[in-house]
Structure 1
Amino acid sequence: MTVPGSFTLQVPDTWFDYDLARQDLARQQDELRARTTTPEQRRAVDDVVSQARRLLRTARRRGAVSAAGTISRDGDGLLMAFVAVFGVTVPEGVELSLAELSQQLSRPAGTDGHGDRVVTSVDLTGVGTVARITGTEVVELTGDTSAVMVAMHTVVPIPGQPGSYLVVTGMSPNLPLADALYDIFDAITGTFRFA
Structure 2
Amino acid sequence: MPYLFEEDVPRTDIMFDIDIPETWMEYDLSGDALAGLRAQALERHGNRPEETEALNDLFTDIANVTSDATGAGMLSAAGAFEEYDDGFFMATVCVFAFPAGKGEQTLDPLRLVEYIHPDSATAREGTWLRKTAVDLTEQGLGRCGRIYGVTDYDTDEAVIRSVVMHTAFEYADLNKRILVSCTSPNSREAAEVLDLFDAITGTARFWEREVVPGH
TM-score by length of 2: 0.71
**What is the aligned counterpart of 1:187 among 187, 196, 199?**
199
**Is the counterpart of residue 148 in structure 1 residue 161 in structure 2?**
yes
**CA-based RMSD:** 3.1
The answer for the alignment partner of 2:144 in structure 1 is 130
1:38-74 alpha-carbon deviations (Å, 9 max, x no partner):
x424533553464366347525245321100111114
**Is the counterpart of residue 63 in structure 1 residue 73 in structure 2?**
yes
**Is the counterpart of residue 13 in structure 1 residue 22 in structure 2?**
yes
Q: Separation in 1 of the partners of 2:110 and 2:62? A: 30
SS in structure 2 opposite 1:13? coil
Q: Separation in 1 of the partners of 2:65 and 2:114? A: 21
Q: Separation in 2 of the partners of 1:147 and 1:133? A: 19
TM-score by length of 1: 0.77
Amino acid of the structure 1 residue aligned with 2:3: V
Could you tell me whether the CA contact under 8 Å between 2:80 and 2:90 is conserved in 1?
Answer: yes
Q: 1:65 to 1:167 in 2, by over 3 A?
A: same
The answer for the alignment partner of 1:106 in structure 2 is 117
Q: 1:145 to 1:115 in 2, by over 3 A?
A: closer
**Is the counterpart of residue 171 in structure 1 residue 180 in structure 2?**
no
Q: Report sequence identity in percent.
A: 29
The answer for the alignment partner of 2:91 in structure 1 is 81
SS in structure 2 opposite 1:4? strand
Q: 1:134 to 1:46 in 2, by over 3 A?
A: closer
Could you tell me whether the CA contact under 8 Å between 1:119 and 1:131 is conserved in 2?
Answer: yes
**What is the aligned counterpart of 2:128 among 93, 107, 116?**
116
Amino acid of the structure 2 residue aligned with 1:64: M
Range that drifts further, 172-181 or 46-55: 46-55
SS in structure 1 opposite 2:128? coil
Query: How many equivalent residue pairs?
Result: 189
Amino acid of the structure 2 residue aligned with 1:171: T
Q: Separation in 1 of the partners of 2:72 and 2:157? A: 17
Q: 1:31 to 1:4 in 2, by over 3 A?
A: farther
Could you tell me whether the CA contact under 8 Å between 1:72 and 1:78 is conserved in 2?
Answer: yes
Q: Separation in 2 of the partners of 1:78 and 1:118? A: 26
Q: Separation in 2 of the partners of 1:55 and 1:100? A: 16
Range that drifts further, 79-88 or 39-48: 39-48
Could you tell me whether the CA contact under 8 Å between 2:91 and 2:182 is conserved in 1?
Answer: yes
Amino acid of the structure 1 residue aligned with 2:168: V
Q: Separation in 1 of the partners of 2:170 and 2:146? A: 12
Amino acid of the structure 2 residue aligned with 1:85: V
Could you tell me whether the CA contact under 8 Å between 1:16 and 1:70 is conserved in 2?
Answer: yes
Amino acid of the structure 2 residue aligned with 1:165: R
Range that drifts further, 52-61 or 144-153: 52-61
